[in-house]
Structure 1
Amino acid sequence: MKNIVKTDKAPGAIGPYSQGVNVGNLFFFSGQIPLDPETGTMPAGIEAQTKQSLNNVKALLESQGLGFEDVVKTTVFLDSMDDFACVNEIYATYFVEPYPARSAIEVAKLPKGALIEVEVIASKG
């Protein structure tokens, strides 16, 4: 059975998709760009955008009784791979060992001109 994840603590979908989907003990969360869920605005700079994206991920996880320790896979989409080191520093303040598997990909463009998007898969139990 498929259950839809929905919370007002993270930005709502800006297209025909769900914030996340739960199937059994797996949670598949849509990518989070750095939109502030209260104002709909995006901070400037990769540092602030990384923190906001990860805070949005945190809100989605918490809405399902999960934390970063439950994440098994992340995918980080970057506007520029030149930001990789900076993103890693911030990422390491949210995730602790044992780290989830991760992919990092430079893309041509992200929604709303974001510099970063982060999506995660988590497992409960």
Structure 2
Amino acid sequence: MNEKKKLNEKYEVGLMIVSIVIILALMIGMTLYPEAGKAIGAQVMHALTYSFGSVMQFFTVIVLIFLVALAFSKYGNIRFGNCKPEFKTMSWVAMMFLQVWVQELFTGHFWNGDIILMLHLP
């Protein structure tokens, strides 16, 4: 029997509300004060790239290698839950591609050449 569940039984409504409020606050703040938003973004990027630098890159590469090895091992076929996936593989690939594209569109790293500057190693 197909039962209709209440919204709060199906989703974490509190978490959704907090996330939406934070995202809206950031969007409104960066829309009203674009120069300040750009300066704060640059400070955060500088802090992450220069404070962590090679340690962060090394950790990222190690985690990536581990996850790829895990995906191709015997544990890569384990499913969570008893139901079929909601989306097909190509749908997931499209969602991940579009998420990166939208993030680059909003941050502007790709369009103004900052991505080239980020790849330059000191």
More helix by percentage: 2
The alignment's TM-score, normalised by the length of structure 2, stands at: 0.25
Structure possessing the higher radius of gyration over alpha carbons: 2
- Bigger strand fraction: 1
Higher RCO (CA 8 Å, separation ≥ 6 residues): 1
Give TM-score, length-normalised by structure 1.
Answer: 0.25
